[in-house]
Copies of this chain bind each other. A is one copy, B any other.
Amino acid sequence: MLKYISVANSLKEYIEHSNLKQGDRLPNVLTLAEDYNTSKTTIVKALEILKADGLIYQVQGSGNYARLPKRTGYINFQSNLGFTTNLHEENLSSQSVSVTSIAADTELAEQLQCAVGTPIYHVERTRTMDGKILCLENSFFNANLIKYLNQEIAEGSIFKYLTDVLDISIGFSDKFFKVRELTDYEAGKLALTAGQPTLDAHEVFFTNDGIPFDYSSNVYHFENADFYLQTQQK
């Protein structure tokens, strides 16, 4: 791991576990460089990551300040790392998980930039937290890139498997969403009634090299899923 990313991770832990309030000033760059036994350049690069993650904002000529939105129970809608990193992993689980092998149809081929007929893993599962249903998820993985997937893996965090086992660097994603009424099938999966509202989000995930590997559709339970999103300082 690059030094400044390791320092950024330490700084994140420090901010999250300290008693900093919104707008509290962080120690200056020189102090941080001494604390972390590293160069000022490394600290500056680490702070850029914290800014991009919405943990701090920078006031020119003044310093770095904490951003701490209330997050408890809210889903970070901006995260490209799945639920697991921003909700309490221990309370998150998957139900009625199925993993099937299919061939890409025209839509999947377009979304995943692959040929029609490419082998695809289709995962359908409901995600729950503390026994509450959050969403019905349908994910499609290009099996030429994600060469192995099974039900046991899909019962846990697929993204953790992709990064830790398959060594895939998740880069970024494009998400499209709207609000609509639930279909009969979705309502059944979410323990709701057809016609009740839902947030319907489609997302394509890319590797760090710009290759799409996962096309996902999440249909959220409107009473159980609240979201937050931070815009970043430029």
- Identical copies in the complex: 2
Q: Are B210 and A59 in contact (CB under 8 A)?
A: yes
Smallest CB-CB A-B distances: 8 pairs? A197-B197, A80-B231, A179-B222, A69-B174, A175-B229, A172-B233, A173-B231, A178-B226
Q: Are A54 and B234 in contact (CB under 8 A)?
A: no
CB of A177 within 8 A of chain B? yes
Q: How far is the CA of A175 from the CA of B78 in the complex (A)?
A: 11
CB of A33 within 8 A of chain B? no
Name the contact of A77 in the complex, choosing from B62, B172, B229 (C-beta under 8 A). Answer: B229
Chain B's closest residue to A232 (CB) is B172
Chain B's closest residue to A182 (CB) is B197
CB of A167 within 8 A of chain B? no
Q: Which A residues are closer than 8 A to B by beta carbons?
A: 23, 49, 52, 54, 57, 59-60, 62, 65, 67, 69-70, 74, 77-80, 113, 171-181, 196-199, 206, 208-210, 220, 222, 225-234
| CB-defined contacts of A181 to chain B, threshold 8 Å | 196-197
| CB-defined contacts of A178 to chain B, threshold 8 Å | 222, 225-227
User: Could you name 14 residue pairs across A and B whose Cβ atoms are closer than 8 Å?
Assistant: A23-B113, A57-B171, A57-B172, A57-B208, A62-B209, A69-B176, A77-B177, A172-B233, A177-B226, A177-B227, A178-B227, A179-B222, A181-B196, A181-B197
